[in-house]
Structure 1
C-alpha cells in the first residue's frame, strides 16, 4: 500500500517508471517466468519430528524451498513448512491442506493443538484425511517476518485527531516496515497471496498425492480462491469457509466489515438480554460498553493479568476495547466470556481487551506477518489527515458504536507509509474449468461480511454458496450439531456440494 504523499514522492523520485507498453511487456514476461517456475520439479517432502513441546510421535513436519520471487525462480529461496497428523481411519481419502486465516494464522499450530486433543476438527475429517497444517510464507514455522519488537509494541492511535497524531502514525508505520525489511530481507516484498498460492502448488506436488484437497477459513478462503485462479485443473476439493473477496476495494472492505461487526454486537446484546447465564438480569451491555470506552479514553483501565508475564499491555484504552472486542465476537459459544469481560472491565480489570506485546522479532502472538501480507495485497487510499478523517466519518456512519474499528481499518491506517509496494491489488478473479468449489458463510459474521460470500460465489463459476443463517465467524470450527459443517465434511469426502441456494439455520 502506497503511503502518504511524502512517501509517494520519495518512491517516485527513486524509481524509473517504464512506458505503459514496456510495463505490460515486463509484467507478461514476469508472469510467464512465474508460470514456468510452477512446473519446476519438487523434491518429495522429508517428514521429521516437529519442534513443538510435547508433540506426539505421530505429528510430523516437513519443509520445502520456494523462490522468494517467482519471477526469479532460481534466485533467493524461502522455506515453507507444514505439519501432518495422520488420519484415524484405515483407508484415508488423502491429505487435506488447512489454512486457518489471518493473514498470519498458523495452520501448523492448530494441527499441533489437534494432535494434543483439542478436538477442533470433526471426526469425519480426522477419519478420512491426513491433516496438513499450512504456515504460509512469513508465518509460524515457515521463513518468518521479523521486525523490531520495540516498534511492534510502540502504541499510536489508529484514529488520530490532529496532524501531529497523524504524523506519529505514519512515522511508526514507516519505521516498523523498514525494520521488518532489514530483519526479514527481500521476502518482505514477496509475502503476497499469489506467491503463497504458488507455494501451495509446490507443496501439493512435493506431497505426491494428486489433486489438492483444501480447507481455508477466512483469509484462507482468499488463498484458496487465488490457487483456483492459478491452478484450476489441480483441485479435487476446495472448501472456503468465511469468504474474503479480494475483488473489493479496501474502502468497501472496511465499510462492509464495520457494519457487520456492529450488527454482530447488537445481536449479542439482544441474545444476552434473553439469557440469564450470559449477563446479570437487566444488564444493559450496550450501555456498559459505551461507558467503558468513554472512561478508558479518559484514563486507561488496568489489565492486571498482563503484568506477571509482560505478554500484553498493562492498561487498555477505549480504542483497544473497540478493536479487540471483535475477536470475542467470533464464536457465539463465547458470548458468556464476552459478557464477563465487560463486567470485569467495569470492575477495573480490562485484561480481556489488552493487546499482545512482542517479546522478540518473530513473536508467536505479536509479530509483523499480518500487516506485512496485508500491505502487499490491499492499497490504502489515505495520504493525508483529511483522507483519514473522511473515512472515519464513513466508519461512524455505518458503525456508530465502534466507529469503524475493525481489522479492515488496521489495513487502511496501518499501511500508510509502509515501505513495500502493493504487488497484488484487488481485482476480479478469473477462474475457468475448476471442479465444484464450496463457499460457506454466516449471515451475521462479525468479520467476513456475508455480501463478500455472495460476490465471491459470482466470481467462481463452479462454486456453490451455502448460507448459514446465524452468527459467528466461519462454520467449520463451530461447536455442537451444525448442518453447515456437515456439508463441508460431505463435500471434502465426496466432492459433492449441496444444491445451489442452500440455507441452513444453525
Structure 2
C-alpha cells in the first residue's frame, strides 16, 4: 500500500480563495482495481449506526484523483442515484474534472449499502435489488392496507439480510459518512459537489454540520429543505405542469393545437379503463402522465413524437409510450434511502387529500412524477422516516445551485434560505449542468477554488 504522505487542507485566504496547508492523513492510498486514469483508492471504517459509534463498523471505499498542479484543497464529489458508484463514475467521467484538478484533488466514495450490484466497492446491503412498477393509488382502505402489506413484505427481504445497515442508509447517514471522510482527509472545511440525489446528502450535511461547510454546490436536485412539505409538493406538481404547458404552447403553432383537450380526455378515460400498450400491459392516466412529463422535459426534439403518441393512445393504442426500458415502466428500485428521506401518508385519507390537491393545482400533470407518487412504495415500510425535510441553518456560508428546466427553481427554493446564495439556471432541458455546460462548470470551479459566486440570476 502506498501511504499518503500529505493531503492538502482548504483554508480561506484573506481574499476568499484557498491556499495549501499539508498534514499527514490517516488513509492508505493505492491504485484502484482495474484503474485506467491514475485513481487511487483507500478504505475508511465507519459505524454502521452513527448513534452507536462504538459498535459494528462497515467499510467505505474512497477514490482520489490527485491534483495535476499544486493541490490547494479537496473537492468531495457525489453523483446521486442514490447508490451511484462514485469511483466508477469518476473514472469514466474524469475529463469533467480536468480544470478543477489543476488546483484541487478530486475525492469521491461509494455510498454505504450500494454494493456490487451497483458497481459499488463499499459495504453493500445483501439484497436482491429489483425494479417494480410504481403502485396505483389505493381506492379504499382495503387497497391501502394491501399496499402497506405488500411494500413491507418486499422490504423485509432486504431488512432481514442486514437490519442495522437497512435502518441506516438515509441521506443523513451518507452525510455523516461525508463528515468522517472530511476528518480522514485532514479536517479542512468541506467543499462538496452533489449531483441529482446526492444534493440531498449535501442538504443533510448542511443541517448537521453547518460550521464545517466552506463551499457546497447542489446541481440538478430537488428541495429537501422546505419548511412546509405540502407546499413543496405543490411546487413539484406546478413544475411538471409547466413542462406540459411548454409542449402544448409549441403545439399551438405546430399542427396539434387540439391536443390539450385530447390529452385531458385521454387521461380521464385511462384512469377508468387503462389503455393497452403491450401484451398484458395497459397504462393508466397517471402512467401516461408520467411518460408525457418525461418526454416534455426533453424539449422540442421529443415533442413531435409525444404529440403522435398521445393521438395513438387516444385511438386506443398506447404502445408509442412504451420506453426502451420495458413496458412495465414506470417503475423504481427498492427505496431503502428514499423511504427514510421523504414523508409518507399515514392513511388513505391523508393520501387522498394530497393527491386531489395536486390534481387541482396541475390538471394536465397531476401528481405524477412528484414525491407524492414516488413514495407510494414506502407506505408500510419497516423503517421510519429518519431524515425528513427541514430548513437549512441561516449560519451557512453562501451556497451555489445549478439546474436546467424545473431543477434550477427547486434548487433555488432550497438554497434561497441562505443569504448570498446563487443558482445558475439553464433555460432548456437537461439533468444537472456541470458535466455538459461549460459556462456552469466554469462558475462552479471558480466558486470552489476562489469562493467567488456568479452574479445573481446567472443563466448558462
TM-score, structure 2 as length reference: 0.77
Q: 2:30 aligns with which of 43, 47, 59?
A: 47
Report the equivalent of 2:38.
58
Equivalent of residue 457 in structure 1, options 416, 430, 454: 416
Determine whether 1:213 maps to 2:191.
yes
The answer to whether 1:374 aligns with 2:338 is: yes
Instruction: Tell me the equivalent position of 1:132.
Output: 107
Task: Show the 5 A alignment for 1:43-122.
Answer: 43-50=26-33, 56-87=36-67, 89-115=68-94, 121=96
**Cross-structure match for 2:287:** 320
Shift of 1:82: 3.4
Instruction: Give 1:178-257 correspondences, 5 Å limit.
Output: 178-208=156-186, 210-241=188-219, 242-257=221-236
Aligned-partner Cα distance in 2 for 1:108–1:316: 38
**Aligned partners of 2:33, 2:57: CA distance in 1, in Å?**
21
Which of 495, 500, 506 in structure 1 is aligned with 2:451? Answer: 495
Q: 1:384 to 1:238 in 2, by over 3 A?
A: closer
Shift of 1:336: 1.8
- How is 1:379-418 mapped onto 2 (pairs within 5 angstroms)? 379-380=343-344, 382-418=345-381
Distance in 2, matches of 1:110 and 1:288, equals: 42
Aligned pairs (5 A) from 1:28-43? 43=26
SS at match of 1:428: coil
- In 2, the alpha carbon distance for the partners of 1:316 and 1:455 equals 34
- Rate the CA distance shift 1:44–1:505 in 2: closer, same or farther, 3 A: closer
Matches within 5 A, 1:138-177: 138-139=113-114, 140=118, 141=120, 142-148=122-128, 152-155=130-133, 157-177=135-155
Instruction: Name the CA distance, whole Å, in 2 between partners of 1:147 and 1:317.
Output: 30
Q: Which has the higher contact order (CA 8 A, sep 6+)?
A: 1
Q: Which residue in 1 is equivalent to 2:301?
A: 336
* C-alpha distance in 2 between matches for 1:221 and 1:441: 11
Distance 2:270 2:356 in 1: 22
C-alpha change, 1:155 and 1:454, in structure 2 (3 Å) is closer
**Which digits, 9 at most, give the CA deviation of each residue in 1:392-447, with x for residues without a partner?**
21121111122211241235422211110122233333353x444323455x41xx
Provide the C-alpha distance between the structure 1 equivalents of 2:178 and 2:47, rounded to a whole number of angstroms: 12
Query: Contact 1:316–1:353 (CA<8 Å) still a contact in 2?
Result: no
Instruction: State the match for 1:37 in structure 2.
Output: none
Counterpart among 411, 423, 438 of residue 400 in structure 2: 438
Deviations 1:175-210 (A, max 9, x none): 122122112431111112222111012112323483
Shift of 1:174: 1.2
CA contact (8 A) 1:250 1:378 kept: no
Q: CA deviation at 1:269?
A: 4.2
**Residues 160/247 of structure 1: CA separation in 2 closer, same or farther (3 Å cut):** same
Root mean square deviation of aligned Cα: 3.7
**Structure 1 pair 480/224, CA: closer, same or farther in 2 (3 Å)?**
closer
Q: CA deviation at 1:372?
A: 1.7
- Report the structure, 1 or 2, having the larger helix content: 1
Q: Distance in 2 between matches of 1:271 and 1:80?
A: 48
Question: Quick check: 1:229–1:431 contact (8 Å CA) kept in 2?
Answer: no
**Aligned residue-pair number:** 421
Counterpart position of 1:420:
383
CA–CA distance in structure 1, aligned partners of residues 353 and 322 of structure 2: 32
- Structure 1 unaligned residues grouped into runs of 5+: 1-40, 275-280, 304-312, 359-364
1:64 Cα deviation from its structure 2 partner? 1.8
1:63-102: per-residue Cα shift (whole Å, max 9, x none)? 3221111121121222323333445x43454432222234
Q: Distance in 1 between matches of 2:286 and 2:126?
A: 26
Q: What residue in structure 2 maps to residue 266 of structure 1?
A: 245
